[in-house]
Structure 1
């Protein structure tokens, strides 16, 4: 592998397991008990934590570590594993530049501890090398959606205050559902009705935060006896979130004219300008309970 091919990220995630015990003839031991790699404990494991490395400039990925625990992994152990895995990657010649995980409480605690130890708010060090911790983009967007289900989002776009309300999205769904021909056929109750939403599926979230939903909120708000006028503000916020997701999820060299942020990042692409604006927008936004 060339030097650039060795540049990679370390990803880690946790999932629950169905408890199960099995005798391992080859190792003469019982599988299914808590095993952190450093020690085993006589407790039936029901969680697994997996680490994977993925190339940054070349498409390759490889799971490299998994540990079993009784209950969710503790942040102190996770912190130790992060440092150990990155160190092992360095020993075999890989250049780890960043980590990626979701916003689980143990993940946040472990990352914050590493940042505090390095006296930084944006990077930590392992054996003198800088590592940038990142949170998984789809989970961040699901977090925004989950907050918007119960609270209004006050956000300033182009010097205009916009208030995004989930009730506008529900209203749009019912208007479209009862129409002779649907214009948002992908929207279902599982997308918009709070008690029926599958909160784990990223697709359910991104199909709501879409260009189609944004454009129809803006259009319908201007028609009499349809959506209220302030639904246009919700449409503007969703259009902004759709562009933000595109900018963080681009993979092709070219993009549709109406969605330029789907283009891969380059010196001439609009990403840097958009991200500078997005940082400014998020610094000023507020999430408040509706009156």
Structure 2
């Protein structure tokens, strides 16, 4: 799991270490001020544990290529200590998508050079282990919601064309209180549903 976040630029002098902190530590030329941080975390699938394992600061968003290089290095080190990496999870940021596509493309090229077919284009291999990239479900839901606010969803049911609209959600929300104690959406508020009160 990895993520990138914006930071406020700040320079701090550490007297005991005789160091100045606040400069980028990776992926910048010269001494750019750090205004982004990237964090990588490992978590168990069958057991509930998680551990941040790597972070760095940069003077802007990290490129997709650099994300791919860092991710590959981290996965190799995790494999060396006995962990099996099955998937990587991130949001749908453009640089994250570019880095993951680069790793998938490299795997496809390597397989084609060996004369092997790939049954799925969206996976990559590191150290012989297949790794499947996934996008963070909360971000996927947010993107669907944001698209649904501005566009209708067209789908087909038993051969008939149907259209889902945000107005249908508003209608269901307005009807819900009339069911009394059998409310189906008790946690929804106006801020979740009404565009005029909506907080993205």
TM-score (norm 2): 0.81
* Structure 1 residues 40-85: Cα deviation after superposition (integer angstroms, max 9, x where no partner): 8411112111000001111111000011112222212111111111
2:106 to 117, 120, 131: 117
Distance 1:39 1:170, change over 3 A: closer
CA RMSD after TM alignment: 2.5
- Number of residue equivalences: 187
Unaligned runs of 5+ in 2: 109-117
Alpha-carbon contact 1:47-1:69 (below 8 Å) kept:
yes
Does 2:37 match 1:33? Answer: no
Distance 1:91 1:147, change over 3 A: same
Which residue in 2 is equivalent to 1:23? 13
Which residue in 2 is equivalent to 1:56? 45
Does 2:88 match 1:99? Answer: yes
Greater shift after overlay, 181-190 or 40-49?
181-190
Which residue in 2 is equivalent to 1:65? 54
Distance 1:57 1:181, change over 3 A: closer
* Structure 1 residues 245-266: Cα deviation after superposition (integer angstroms, max 9, x where no partner): xxxxxxxxxxxxxxxxxxxxxx
Find the aligned partners of 2:76 and 2:94 in 1 and give their Cα distance.
24
TM-score (norm 1): 0.58
Unaligned runs of 5+ in 1: 1-10, 200-291
* Structure 1 residues 20-44: Cα deviation after superposition (integer angstroms, max 9, x where no partner): 21123454322111112x8884111
Distance 1:195 1:51, change over 3 A: farther
4+ residue runs of structure 1 moved beyond 3 angstroms? 24-28, 38-41, 157-161, 171-177, 179-185
Find the aligned partners of 2:125 and 2:16 in 1 and give their Cα distance.
39
Does 2:147 match 1:147? Answer: yes
